[in-house]
Amino acid sequence: MRLMILMFILGINSLLAASGYSQSTKISLKMADTRVEDVLNNIESKSEFFFLFNQKQIDVNRKVSIEAKDEKISDILDELFAGTDVKHQVIDRQIVLTTTSGTETQQQGKKVTGKITDSSGASLPGVSVVVKGTTTGVITDNNGNYTLSNISENATLQFSFVGMKMQEIIIASQTNVNVVLADETIGIEEVVAIGYGTARKKDLTGALIRLNADDKATLPNINAVQTMRGSVAGLRVTDNGKAGSDGSIVIRGNRSITAGNEPLIVLDGIPMVGSKLSDISSNDIESIDILKDASSAAIYGSRATNGVILVTTKRGKNSKPVLSYSGYYGFSDFARTPNLMGPDKYLQLKKDASVFLGGQATPLNPIEQEVLDAGGASSPWDAISQNAPMMNHDLSVAGKTDQVNYYFSGSYADQKSVIMCDQFKRLTLRGNIDIKVNDWLNIGTNTGYTFKDYSGIEANVGNASIMSPFAKYKYDDGQPISVPMGDVLAYNPIFDALWIDNYQITNNLFSNIYANIKLPLEGLTYRLNVANNLRYNESKNFTPTYDRDGSKRTSFASQNWSKGKDFTLENILKYNKTFNKIHNVDATLMYGIESTKNTGMYRSGSLLFSDALGYYGVSLGDVQTASASGSEMKAVSSMARAGYRLMDRYMLNLTIRRDGYSAFGSKNKYGNFPSVGLGWVVSEENFLSDVKWLEFLKLRYSYGKNGNRAISPYSSLSLMDASNYKYVFGDGGVTSVGVSPISMANTNLGWESTLASNIGMDFNLFSGRISGAFEYYNMNTKDLLLSSQIPNMTGYATFTTNVGSVNNKGVEITLNTVNVKTGGFEWATTFTFAKNNNKITDLMDIDGDGKGDDDPSNRRFIGKPMFSYLDYVWDGIWQVGDDMTMDPGAKPGFVKFKDVSGPEGVPDGKIDPLDRQILSSSLPDYTAGVTNNLSYKGITLSVLFYTSQGGKASNTWINPGTNFYARLNQLDLPYWTPENPLKDRPSVGYPNPKGYGFYEDRSFIRLQDLSLSFELPKSFLAKTKLNSMKVFVSGKNLATWTKWNGWDPEHAAGYDPYGAASQSGPIMKSFVVGLNLNF
């Protein structure tokens, strides 16, 4: 191992800066016959305290003698000002000195008085009240009161306080000016998580977006991933509609072809390896910061190529404990289902199929005939549906004292999707505690436990999607019918749901413990993070014996246990100091290791002599199997970050990270990831000081390299599998375990890396009425971890290697406007837009000419977007009487393709593979979201529309001939017949001999989120113990407009009704009513 870098980190530690300083700090002083001012200066130099006072009120020239040994500041001050009317108040490190009179000695001109409070009505001592353009001013007293004299009528008063928005008020004729200062929780002063620390948003040089969970608190987002959906420019969330599912997230386009495009998720500073966003209750989340560009993400090096999502959970905010309840209850239904043939059209389909088959009978199966004769018919969607209630309850207590900050919460979610037996239950418990042990040591923990229950085999939407309207799903005694329409191709979609007893749970204990130590050098701190994530999952199944109408199932029991442990250890040194008031230096060093180990045991038994024990009867089976699995992953990381800021106007950030990862080839385990970021706050420049409407304008540039290691352990090795090659020699013999290689080794397998630049602009105009950000980025991903198709004559169809490159360029616009703000009514709009151009720029060079070559068998083409289709070009439908010599297999009603090319590069009068062209990609052209918030006196209406435009995907479901048209049900779409010679649809049994993909546009517009909430007025609550109360109704996925004929266009999966992809089926719409209470 190379020499270990000592990890001394310099910098402000945000947690160190928390409360409690004044309580625990003890000071020793010995000064005789000294001016008060010198005593105060001495205290400032010995501690982090600083004093705020008005020299006109406080006599600082008074001589005192004072001696203190390890005394608290308040005791020292009591002594110092004993016998005077000076009062002191300690607010964290800030000490406000006031006199009881709080008035000026000079009594000239106009006198103004007032009281300053915060938004909750509490008085604010220590607020600076200054006459604009002068040095005249006072500090508010203990009760938040101030008095200013000798003020001219045209003066403007500025009210400012740390963490609050500054306000300016013109005096005019007023003599009493009361001011409510608002928290500066949004906007450029906001402090955001940047990975291994925090920063003011105005100091960032990269593209970072913060989502405040509060903004989405009235939406039924059981999973936090739903919070991000449609709200962040450049972040695409795909929902698969399943209860409790995590969906998928892509930030700024697909960089990797096969190694995964999911961003890294970091929970309270620790990367989540084995756990998921569904392990966190949305209500525990304070904020989500999304790092989109290379320089922001580079501190996570090898895993940052796809962007980083930093999730921060809540902490205490008020000294008084706050008890909060939040809950909702509602229902879900299919948001959108593909239309299947109903009874009449289905019967017509049978007739037309018979004609297509030259008169061969296509009778209804007996069971269908029986249902038809009885006058029955049903929709398969009804057959697989269930009532789908959902509810969520969260309870939390939070608060802070000088020594301890705490947040405890528990939540329970219970959700059913409308698909039978698709359910999700979740219990979460969380405790976040920070303890200030003394003036140099802080320790704390973020610990969460999650129990998730996915039990039940959900109805199979794929099987439902081919089901006859005359199917019968259950016998009269309630047992499921194995083949409900009498055709074995169409297995009962609810059979497994009803017949198999399935238990499926996960437990997750995520615990991060840290210690923060202040080192003797000013501004230097050390932090140690130790994080353990323990996962324990169980899956059990029992299938009872079934033997009815020729269908047979032998009894089968199985139990599957798996355990995972993720361990992270990080040493972090930080240094932060401001020199000469204008030079700020912020440096971070990190060294850490990480490991993940997963193990599992599986056992099954078949042919149980009794069904009574269910899956606990696993050992009763005549036939037993057992297997074990295990894998391990390790990583080593070191990182350095340095930031320099001049006059809050110019910023420079440099980071470098070095990562080693075990899954890479033995020759290529380590990678380096440097980045640079520059920022310029243009609006601070003097030449813009006259532009009043321009509040804030910053230009940013960043450039850096990130990595992708999203491959599974052992990917670089030649592996042999022993689980799928068993054989039994002889009758009644025992199992012989065969072993076969499954992958080719690649000792050179290394990082996939992305070099990316980002140009950004943040702006805030007209006092915050218009604000937003504009980003342009250009990302080159190279050395792709590509599972590329190789000639399978080698024995392997694919090979994982570092080859090829992908470019993503794009723009993102985020625009927040306050359109109307008058008389308590406010209408605000957030608009997000993202356009990404994806292009494969290089692939493997096969022919040795030094250039990459297209890979048609994997649908990869240089200069074209990923997921492009190579296929024949649709040219209509062959009609009766057409000359079909160019396509000898064709018949009227078949798809006609264009003769584009031939061996000579020109049309040759023959349809053959040379006529295949690169058609469109399935990636969208752009996505956009618009959120409108209208509020009036506590009533808020929020509406989010989301759209994705462009991209075509293959949907062979729309061709009946591909899908057993004579036996199964089909999408309700017209088809060609001699009597109805359509020009855009093939005949009913078009056998699709060339495997044409049938492409459809995935564009859609969705009314995604709608919420109406009402916050009860404070006066109304005065007699109760409640601090606040909010009621709301909200809905999700309420309407979708699209031309796509498959499942949801967003995932566009499941066009193959028999495939596993059909499990990404319909998405759900939901309605809830909810309540938030604070005590």
**Tokens at residue 442, please?**
């802080």
Pick the closer one to another protein by CB: 191 or 357. Answer: 357
Pick the closer one to another protein by CB: 51 or 897. Answer: 897
Q: Does 646 interact with another protein (rule: CB under 8 A)?
A: no
Q: Does 722 interact with another protein (rule: CB under 8 A)?
A: yes
Q: Tokens 């009402």 appear where?
A: 1014
**Beta carbon of residue 792, minimum distance to another protein (angstroms, whole number):** 5
> In this structure, which amino acid lies at residue 1070?
S
Tell me the residue ranges of DSSP E strands in 335-403: 389-400
**CA-to-CA distance for 930 and 933, rounded, in angstroms?**
10
Judged by CB under 8 A, the residue of 276, 669, 896, 952 near another protein is: 669
Is residue 10 within 8 Å of residue 574, measured between CB atoms? yes
**Beta carbon of residue 826, minimum distance to another protein (angstroms, whole number):** 51
Q: Categorise residue 159: left if φ over 0, alpha if ψ from -120 to 50, beta otherwise.
A: beta
Q: Does 668 interact with another protein (rule: CB under 8 A)?
A: no
DSSP string, 385-442: B---EEEEEEEEEEEE-SSEEEEEEEEEEEEE-SBTT-EEEEEEEEEEEEEE-SSSEE
Q: Does 906 interact with another protein (rule: CB under 8 A)?
A: no
Is residue 385 within 8 Å of residue 418, measured between CB atoms? yes
User: How does DSSP classify residue 542?
Assistant: E
Instruction: Write a three-state SS string for 757-799.
Output: EEEEEEEEECCCCEEEEEEEEEEEEECCEEEEECCHHHCCCEE
**Beta carbon of residue 989, minimum distance to another protein (angstroms, whole number):** 6
Considering only residues 778 through 807, tell me which ones interact with another protein, judged by CB under 8 A: 789-797, 799, 801
Q: Does 395 interact with another protein (rule: CB under 8 A)?
A: no
Q: Does 528 interact with another protein (rule: CB under 8 A)?
A: yes
Candidates 131-139, 183-191, 743-751, 872-880: pick the segment binding another protein (CB under 8 A). Answer: 743-751
Is residue 124 within 8 Å of residue 81, measured between CB atoms? no
Judged by CB under 8 A, the residue of 27, 347, 519, 973 near another protein is: 519
Q: Does 552 interact with another protein (rule: CB under 8 A)?
A: yes
Judged by CB under 8 A, the residue of 121, 363, 478, 850 near another protein is: 363
Considering only residues 559 through 598, tell me which ones interact with another protein, judged by CB under 8 A: 569, 571, 591-593
Pick the closer one to another protein by CB: 342 or 889. Answer: 889
Cα→Cα distances 698→219, 645, 756, Å: 33, 14, 20
Judged by CB under 8 A, the residue of 612, 691, 728, 1060 near another protein is: 728
Considering only residues 744 through 773, tell me which ones interact with another protein, judged by CB under 8 A: 744-746
Q: What does the radius of gyration of the chain's CA atoms come to, in whole angstroms?
A: 34
Residue in 859, 1005, 1041 with CA at minimum distance from that of residue 926: 1005
Candidates 184-192, 254-262, 354-362, 766-774: pick the segment binding another protein (CB under 8 A). Answer: 354-362
**Beta carbon of residue 801, minimum distance to another protein (angstroms, whole number):** 8
Q: Does 847 interact with another protein (rule: CB under 8 A)?
A: yes
Pick the closer one to another protein by CB: 118 or 632. Answer: 632
**CA-to-CA distance for 22 and 776, rounded, in angstroms?**
46
CB atoms within 10 A of CB 349: 22
**CA-to-CA distance for 431 and 209, rounded, in angstroms?**
26
Pick the closer one to another protein by CB: 380 or 671. Answer: 671
Tell me the residue ranges of DSSP E strands in 843-938: 868-871, 874-877, 895-897, 917-921, 926-936
Considering only residues 981 through 1010, tell me which ones interact with another protein, judged by CB under 8 A: 989, 991, 993-995
Pick the closer one to another protein by CB: 33 or 847. Answer: 847
Pick the closer one to another protein by CB: 393 or 535. Answer: 535
Q: Does 21 interact with another protein (rule: CB under 8 A)?
A: no
How do the residues of the chain divide into helix, strand and coil, expressed in percent and rounded to 5?
Answer: 10, 50, 40
Q: Does 980 interact with another protein (rule: CB under 8 A)?
A: no
Q: Does 331 interact with another protein (rule: CB under 8 A)?
A: no
Q: Does 741 interact with another protein (rule: CB under 8 A)?
A: yes
Pick the closer one to another protein by CB: 774 or 796. Answer: 796
Q: Does 718 interact with another protein (rule: CB under 8 A)?
A: yes
Judged by CB under 8 A, the residue of 713, 892, 938, 981 near another protein is: 713
User: How does DSSP classify residue 946?
Assistant: E
Q: Does 912 interact with another protein (rule: CB under 8 A)?
A: yes
Judged by CB under 8 A, the residue of 83, 121, 358, 823 near another protein is: 358
**CA-to-CA distance for 420 and 416, rounded, in angstroms?**
8
**Beta carbon of residue 128, minimum distance to another protein (angstroms, whole number):** 36
Candidates 385-393, 722-730, 827-835, 922-930: pick the segment binding another protein (CB under 8 A). Answer: 722-730
Considering only residues 429 through 448, tell me which ones interact with another protein, judged by CB under 8 A: 440
> In this structure, which amino acid lies at residue 34?
T
Is residue 134 within 8 Å of residue 109, measured between CB atoms? no
DSSP lists the bridge partners of residue 1010 as: 943, 1035
Candidates 134-142, 280-288, 608-616, 715-723: pick the segment binding another protein (CB under 8 A). Answer: 715-723
Q: Does 732 interact with another protein (rule: CB under 8 A)?
A: yes
Q: Does 1026 interact with another protein (rule: CB under 8 A)?
A: no
Q: Helix (H, G, I), strand (E, B), or coil: what is residue 931?
A: strand
| Contact letters for another protein, residues 467-496 (x by CB under 8 A) | ---------------xx----x--------
Pick the closer one to another protein by CB: 258 or 789. Answer: 789
Total number of residues binding another protein (CB under 8 A)?
A: 113
**Beta carbon of residue 662, minimum distance to another protein (angstroms, whole number):** 4
Residue in 402, 373, 398 with CA at minimum distance from that of residue 284: 398
Is residue 648 within 8 Å of residue 684, measured between CB atoms? yes
Cα→Cα distances 590→192, 196, 455, 943, Å: 19, 8, 42, 43
Pick the closer one to another protein by CB: 382 or 847. Answer: 847
Angle in degrees, CA 700, 706, 707, rounded to 5: 165
| Contact letters for another protein, residues 827-846 (x by CB under 8 A) | -------------------x
Judged by CB under 8 A, the residue of 37, 38, 262, 632 near another protein is: 632
Residue in 161, 296, 388, 304 with CA at minimum distance from that of residue 1068: 388
Q: Does 547 interact with another protein (rule: CB under 8 A)?
A: yes
